[in-house]
Amino acid sequence: MGGGGKVISRAGQGQDAGAADPAEKPNVSAAGVALQGYSPVSYFETGKAELGRAEYAVSHGGATYHLASSAQREAFRANPGKYVPAFNGWCAFGMAIGKTFPIDPKQFKIVDGRLFLFLRNEKVDALELWNKDDERALATKADRHFKSVVERH
pLDDT tens per residue, range 12-21: 333 333 445 6
Residues 92 and 146 in one domain: yes
| pLDDT, mean over the chain | 87
Model confidence at 23, pLDDT cuts 50, 70, 90, reads: low
Which of 67, 83, 99 is the C-terminal boundary of a domain? 83
147 with 130, same domain: the answer is: yes
Domain final residue pick, 68, 83, 98: 83
- The candidate with the shortest Cα–Cα distance to 114, out of 1, 4, 26, 12, is 4
User: Do 22 and 40 fall into the same domain?
Assistant: no
Residues 44 and 108 reside in one and the same domain: no
Q: Which of the 8 DSSP states describes residue 46?
A: T
Q: List Cβ neighbours of 58 (8 Å cut-off, separation of 6 or more).
A: 64, 65, 67, 73, 76, 77, 80
Could you report the per-residue pLDDT of 53-99, keeping only the tens digit for each?
A: 999 999 999 999 999 999 999 999 999 999 999 999 999 999 999 99
The answer to whether 32 and 63 are in contact (CB under 8 A) is: yes
How far apart CA 149 and CA 147 sit, in angstroms, is 5
Q: How far is CA 131 from CA 41, 54, 74, in A?
A: 23, 33, 33
Q: Say whether both 37 and 78 belong to one domain.
A: yes
* Domain of 64, in residue numbers: 28-83
Q: What is the pLDDT of residue 19?
A: 45
Is residue 54 located within the same domain as residue 93? no
Question: Cα–Cα distance between 50 and 20 in angstroms, integer?
Answer: 25
**Which of 83, 102, 130 is at the close of a domain?**
83
Same domain, 53 and 122: no
Contacts of 133 (CB under 8 A, 6+ apart): none
Q: pLDDT for 111-137, tens place per residue?
A: 999 999 999 999 999 999 999 999 999
Total domain count, the chain: 2
Using CA atoms, how far apart are residues 86 and 80, in angstroms rounded to an integer? 12
Query: Do 76 and 140 lie in a common domain?
Result: no
* Statement to judge: residues 58 and 92 lie in one domain: no
**Do residues 89 and 153 share a domain?**
yes
Indicate if 94 and 151 belong to the same structural domain. yes
Does residue 148 sit in the same domain as residue 90? yes
